[in-house]
Structure 1
Amino acid sequence: MSTKITCLIIEDEPPAMQLLEDYIRKLPMLELKGKFYDALEALEYLKKNAVDVIFLDINLPALSGLEMAALIPKEQKIIFTTAYAEYALDSFSFHVVDYLLKPVSFKRFLQAIQKLQTYISSPVVKEAPVQKQDQLLFLKTGRTVIKIQFSDIVYIEAHKEYLCIHTTQQKHLVYKRMKEMAASLPGSFVRIHNSYIINLQYAKKMSQQMVEIGGRELPVSAGYKDIFQQHIQQHMM
């Protein structure tokens, strides 16, 4: 990358501030433009100055990191830092590149910067809308073929060799593998567990460990947690 990535640190804990500053100075592609212990002071700086990425602590006095993120342009790239994992999904309602859990190791910091470089160098490609002829799913159940609208599917549950498709009206049991089903679904669907694929349109509440959907609380497994969070970020407006 020919030009440096400009950074801003907003962190109210001096040791955490110093750690991030040390990490940034270790990487020649980064340039630290400023550091603030208070979000309000940082907002004043950002009125006249632009940076590529903000390292933003969520737990700040007066104005929290999440509250500050809501006040700056949506396209501003942010790497959130915090000691509390439960804020992760809340943070993805913004243009979040990554989410660093304190204490941040240099290896984890470097992974976030590599992801940031990908974001900056790659143009944003919007997902193509599902065409009208692709809004239907035809599945064989027993000796009959059923037609299901993608928009009617709430979630899909694996039962050994079979899948139970929970729609807004009823359930359908079909002989199909989860991997094959996942490949045929449009962008509003995301796999959260070996046994579950959900339609985000019907999700009521989400956390690091579960999704409330269709009157049930479905688990988010560790193996799909990062993919799930990334999927949510990609579909935020």
Structure 2
Amino acid sequence: MINCLILDDEPNAVKLLEDHILKVPFLVLKQKCYDAFEAIAYLKQEQVDLIFMDINMPQMSGLELAAQLPKNQCIIFTTAYSSYALEGYEYNAIDYLLKPITFKRFIHAIEKVRNYVLVDRKIVTDTSKERHSDHYIFVKSGKQYIKLDYQCILYFEAQKEYVTVVSTDRQILVYKRMKQLEAELPDFFIRIHNSFIVNIKHLDRIVDNQAVIGQTKIPISNSYRDQFLSLIAKHIL
């Protein structure tokens, strides 16, 4: 499956893309956004494989938003102006669709995306397996790559579009999405809140709706509570 987000300030354009997506079995529409800031808010919490992004929007253009996204984010630009095409490709766009978008042209673009996403997922999966077989990870912070043992990491905390890695002796701010990070970590790291992933090996106790690691109390949200407590239940005497 390929998860999609539509970003366009024109409701009719959104509706046309939604209709095209619904006709393709392996496409899943996760969110419709009508301005760049709405999309930014959603992407801080969730990850999608593909963004259909209008270029000409008020306040922040699609090109300005694309410049802020990770370079591996899969984007198809949509616009009524062919003059934007060359500039759009500078942001590693998979394709460029000129409005009104025909279903035939839509499918042609989707086939490009399908090949790209399948290759990218294979790379991510293989990389994750390699990481899990080791006992450490290299964390990129600025121009440095800092080696950390998994056992020394206490928890991860989301800070807008960044994540703070809190270990036994330091804190490191890295550019990473929580959802992507969650998929890459070993099984003893578990997400208990939109903003927190904890190392269960360092968990001292659970008090009410809080996980306690040392002197730090971390909230357990309702969204992750059942999953977290089911894991804890396996270790209760």
**Relative to total residues, which structure has the larger helix share, 1 or 2?**
2
